Amino acid sequence: MAGLLRVPAAPEAIERVATPLAAAAWEAIASGLEDASAQHRVAAEHGRSITRQTRLATLHFQLGEMAEARRGYEAARAALAAVPRAAAFDARTRQRSWGLMPAGDALATLEATLGFVETGAFPVRAPGDDDLDAEYVAGLLGAAHELSRYATRRATAGDGASVGVCRDGVAALQAAFLAFDFRNGPLRRKYDGLKYALRRLEDVLYELSLGGGAAPPPDGAAAAQPCLASLEAVRARMEASDAARELVIKRSRDVQKGAKQAIFACHRGDAAKAAALLDAAAAAATEILQDPALVAKWPALRGGALGAALEESPGPASLFFSPTGGLSSLSGTRRRGSSRCGSRTARSRRATRSACR
């Protein structure tokens, strides 16, 4: 005879109480999130439109319609400038918003490409845009690939001189970028492709020389690219930013470690130690944020390691260690006892952990 199935007990109703945060605080958080979401949608919508304009202008360039390409670029640049500031940039990091980053990189690539084809020189860095150094570098690296495609089309027309000019310009870029120490990321991947663009130009020029279509070498040394001074300034800023980033990573470990240890102390019922650890973590985070050589100077460093540390304290750790006895921000249950973290009892370790909450 088959045995009877055992049925677990039904869940018990849990008394829910108010959270440690006041209603006004929750409303402010919700309002901020809704506003950020709205600005993100605005940026994404503008970004898609500007990207389409830029791609169309790039197509005109590839087809040899320079006037149309220039008009398309100017229209896309004007559209980017017309995006509301709140949607175009992150106010805390001063970086272009995620929805507009692809459009900004595409525009910088088209600007550098048109500038080189029209003047023989890459554009210099515009003053006052130090927060967009990565966009400027990405534009130059993207222009190298566009020039390799352009040179291939010129080679089919037997224009070896234009191919040689493109080769020299891209070679100057590579020589300048050899001094950069790119971190793993989008710029590093784009830089890794620069050597292939240069190799393609050299191959095209070599193949032209086999058929007698290569241009003779120019008389005298070629003029230096005006963008090289801009790139040197960009390199210095990037190195300073990377040095600050390493320091922020090291100091953020103390913030995250203190927050985690505060939670463990709360599990053990040690309210005094948890409070001391949280205060130390908060003080360390404040020092990082207010240090004039770190986040105050390089606001883009708010993300990454520091952002993860701030999510620990004052985040889950501070909510776990509620400032009001008898509340639990994690489960919504009422604490046992008036102590913030409670105390260990011989009767139940589970009761102690519930009290810690």
- 56-112 confidence digits (pLDDT tens): 999 999 999 999 999 999 999 999 999 998 888 888 888 889 899 999 999 999 999
> For all residues of the chain together, what is the average pLDDT?
82
Q: What is the pLDDT of residues 29-57, one digit of tens each?
A: 888 889 989 999 999 999 999 999 999 99
Indicate the domain borders of the chain.
37-119, 243-356
Q: Please give the pLDDT value at position 305.
A: 84
Residue 8 is given by DSSP the state: P
CB count within 10 Å of CB 317 equals 26
In angstroms, rounded to a whole number, what is the distance separating the alpha carbons of residues 352 and 339?
11
Whether residue 350 is predicted with pLDDT greater than 70 in this model: the reply is: no
Average pLDDT over residues 131-158: 93
pLDDT 10s digits, 305-344: 888 888 766 556 666 665 544 333 333 333 333 344 543 3
Task: Pick the closest to residue 357 from 339, 346, 345, 141 (CA basis).
Answer: 339
With 0.75 as the threshold, say if the pTM is over it.
yes
Asked if omega into 11 is within 30° of 0 (cis), the reply is no
Question: Which structure tokens are listed for 302?
Answer: 């708010």
Question: How high is the pLDDT of residue 53?
Answer: 95
Helix (H, G, I), strand (E, B) or coil at 227: helix
- DSSP string across 275-339: HHHHHHHHHHHHHHHH-TTTTTT-GGGGSHHHHHHHHHTTTHHHHHS-SSTT--TTT-PPPSSSS
Token pair listed for 101? 């980053």
- Local structure of 345: helix, strand or coil: coil
Look at residue 259 in the predicted model and tell me its pLDDT: 83
Is residue 262 within 8 Å of 278, Cβ to Cβ?
A: yes
Pairwise CA distance, residues 100 & 75, whole Å: 16
147's CB contacts (< 8 A; 6+ apart) are 113, 116, 117, 166, 169, 170, 197, 201
Q: Which two tokens stand for residue 330?
A: 């994690």
Whole-Å CA distances, 276 to 256, 258, 263, 270, 280: 14, 9, 12, 10, 6
Residue pLDDT, tens place only, 232-272: 999 999 999 999 999 999 998 888 888 888 888 888 888 88
Architecture of domain 37-119: Up-down Bundle (1.20)
pLDDT tens per residue across span 171-208: 999 999 999 999 888 899 999 999 999 999 999 998 88
Enter the tokens of residue 104. Answer: 């900004």
Of 138, 192, 190, 199, the closest CA to residue 170 belongs to: 199
